Amino acid sequence: MDFDFSDDQRLLKDSVDRLIADRYDFEQRKKYANEPDGWSRDMWARYAELGLLGLPFPEAAGGFGGGPVETMTVMEAFGRGLVLEPYFATVTLGGGLLRHAGSERQQAALLPQVAAGELKLAFAHVERQSRYDLQDVGVTATRDGAGWLLNGEKSVVLHGDSADKLLVTARTGGSRRDPGGIGVFLVDATAGGVSRRGYPTQDGLRGAEVSFANARAEDVLGDPGGALPAVQRVADEAIAALCAEAVGGMAAMHALTVDYMKTRKQFGRAIGEFQVLQHRAVDNFVALEQARSMAMYATMMAASDDAAERRQAVSAAKVQIGRSGRHIGQEAVQLHGGIAMTMEYKVGHYFKRMTMIEMLFGDTDQHLAVVAGGGGLF
């Protein structure tokens, strides 16, 4: 057993932490958010230079061969910085689908472009009726000569507005909630028949509603009727990454709250001198450390080839993250008082991001049901 980083991992951590500390303070973030895409192209180029955009890709495809620990390191720092760029959408989701469902040819064609910062991806899987169910797919893909035509609508596609290419789950057979008959299709975001309505999400990131009307797919990743296991695997890795991001955010929120309690004076003393508030801060600390532990657990299990075991672990972590995130978020706001209710102060932004993370790839109840339906964690 070993919870320590390797030397390479430590180097990575230092450089990402430094980048976020230097280039992603609250004022800088505000500037990035006001750029045309809602994020910074400049920072995107920096991530590419540092190798972050190719981190989890095989070396043969222009990547660094990093695993879940490397992803965790980056995501935790990004959580602290409340990073706006489409890293999760492009590298974790899009890159993940290419790694797990794509052929060598497809990987060789696309991953180097992603790693170089030249290609942005988004994963279109949510539908209006599907909520968090990955196999609830109504969008259809039908054969047209050698290719495929897509029809239907996808919802809340993370960073779907600025993506160059979309990876879309679509049904080639079976009925709406069948596990079989689902493929992942690669679609140029500007192709005929694709229309997108982009918008900010509640946490200041971006999403889009995307509709397909006889839109021609460029390609299909793997088996056009058997992609679900790969999709689930990517979702599990994505959840592990979100857990790490959430821990970064929770830790920052907790630290801000403790600092504030030490400096905010009411009734002639720092409010942190009230023991009842100290205990609340301690409970936040406990929630944070429990979350951190489970994020590590998810990270260490995310690469497991045993799908059932992996799913249990990741779901358990998502439950813990959801609960700790909600608790720490609400308490950070309450312990700050009015100031935390404002856009001008950072804590509220963490609170909002935590709320959105709780809803991504399944909410707490859904994952609790997964764990409850398994044979027990021990």
Partner 1 sequence: MDLKFTPEEHAFREEVRHFFRTAVPESIRRKVLEGQHLTRQEIVASQRILNEKGWAVPNWPVEWGGQTWTPVQVYLYQDEMQQAGVPAPLGFNTSMVGPVIAEFGSQAQKQRFLARAANLDDWWCQGFSEPGAGSDLASLRTKAERVGDTWVINGQKTWTTLAQHADWIFVLCRTNPTAKKQEGISFILCDMKTPGIKVRPIETIDGGHEVNEVFFDDVVVPYENLVGQENKGWDCAKFLLGNERTGIARVGTSKARLKRIRELAKLERVGDRPLIEDQKFREKLAAVEIELKALEMTQLRIVADERGRQKGKPNPASSILKLKGSVIQQATTELMLEVAGPYAMPYVASDEGDGRNEPGYGPDYAAGAAPTYFNWRKISIYGGSNEIQRNIVAKAILGF
Ligand X SMILES: Cc1cc2nc3c(=O)[nH]c(=O)nc-3n(C[C@H](O)[C@H](O)[C@H](O)COP(=O)(O)OP(=O)(O)OC[C@H]3O[C@@H](n4cnc5c(N)ncnc54)[C@H](O)[C@@H]3O)c2cc1C
Q: Which of 341, 343, 369, 372 binds ligand X (CB under 6 A)?
A: 341
Amino acid letter, 200: P
* Chain mean position to CA 201: 14
CA angle centred on 330, ends 329 and 333, rounded to 5°: 90
What are the tokens at 214? 């006889």
Q: How far is CA 77 from CA 29, 154, 272, in A?
A: 14, 30, 27
196-235 residues near partner 1, rule: CB under 8 A: 197, 199-202, 207, 209
Sole window of 89-97, 100-108, 184-192, 262-270 interacting with partner 1 (rule: CB under 8 A): 262-270
Sole window of 94-102, 185-193, 210-218, 360-368 interacting with partner 1 (rule: CB under 8 A): 360-368
| 343 contacts partner 1 (rule: CB under 8 A) | yes
Burial class (CB in 10 A: 0-12, 13-18, 19+), 160: buried
| 335 contacts ligand X (rule: CB under 6 A) | yes
Long-range CB contacts (within 8 A, 24+) of 268-274: 271/335
Cα–Cα distance measured from residue 259 to residue 272, given in angstroms and rounded to the nearest whole number = 9
61-90 residues near partner 1, rule: CB under 8 A: none
Query: Which residue, among 34, 25, 6, 100, has the nearest Cα to 61 in the 3D structure?
Result: 100
Query: Which residue, among 241, 206, 246, 202, has the nearest Cα to 80 in the 3D structure?
Result: 246
State the minimum distance, in angstroms, from the CB of residue 232 to partner 1: 16
24-43 residues near partner 1, rule: CB under 8 A: none
Sole window of 106-114, 282-290, 298-306, 356-364 interacting with partner 1 (rule: CB under 8 A): 356-364
| 178 contacts partner 1 (rule: CB under 8 A) | no
Task: Report the relative pairing of strands 219-221 and 269-270 from DSSP bridges.
Answer: unpaired
Helices 364-373 and 307-336, packing angle to 10 deg:
140
Binding-residue pattern over the window 113 to 142 for ligand X, x denoting contact by CB under 6 A: ------------------------------
Sole window of 140-148, 171-179, 195-203, 274-282 interacting with ligand X (rule: CB under 6 A): 274-282
| 293 contacts partner 1 (rule: CB under 8 A) | no
Contact 135, 179 (CB under 8 A): yes
Sole window of 61-69, 129-137, 235-243, 303-311 interacting with partner 1 (rule: CB under 8 A): 129-137
**What's the Rg (C-alpha) of the chain?**
21
User: Could you say which of ligand X, partner 1, none residue 30 binds, taking C-beta under 5 to 8 angstroms by partner kind?
Assistant: none
Q: Which of 132, 274, 285, 345 binds ligand X (CB under 6 A)?
A: 274
Q: Which of 30, 31, 131, 143 binds partner 1 (CB under 8 A)?
A: 131
Q: How far is CA 169 from CA 123, 293, 332, in A?
A: 8, 33, 38
Q: Which of 122, 156, 182, 228 binds partner 1 (CB under 8 A)?
A: 156
CA angle centred on 58, ends 56 and 64, rounded to 5°: 60
Contact 257, 354 (CB under 8 A): no
| 282 contacts partner 1 (rule: CB under 8 A) | no
Contact 170, 137 (CB under 8 A): yes
What are the tokens at 160? 């779907």
| 338 contacts ligand X (rule: CB under 6 A) | yes
State the minimum distance, in angstroms, from the CB of residue 204 to partner 1: 8
142: β partners: 149
Residue placing its CB nearer to ligand X in the complex, 108 or 277: 277
User: Could you say which of partner 1, ligand X, none residue 300 binds, taking C-beta under 5 to 8 angstroms by partner kind?
Assistant: none
Q: Which residues lie near partner 1 (CB under 8 A)?
A: 126, 128-129, 131-133, 136, 155-156, 177, 197, 199-202, 207, 209, 265-268, 274, 276-277, 326, 330, 333-334, 337-338, 340-344, 348-349, 351-352, 355-356, 359, 363, 365, 368-369
Q: Which residues lie near ligand X (CB under 6 A)?
A: 264, 266-267, 271, 274, 276-277, 334-335, 337-338, 341
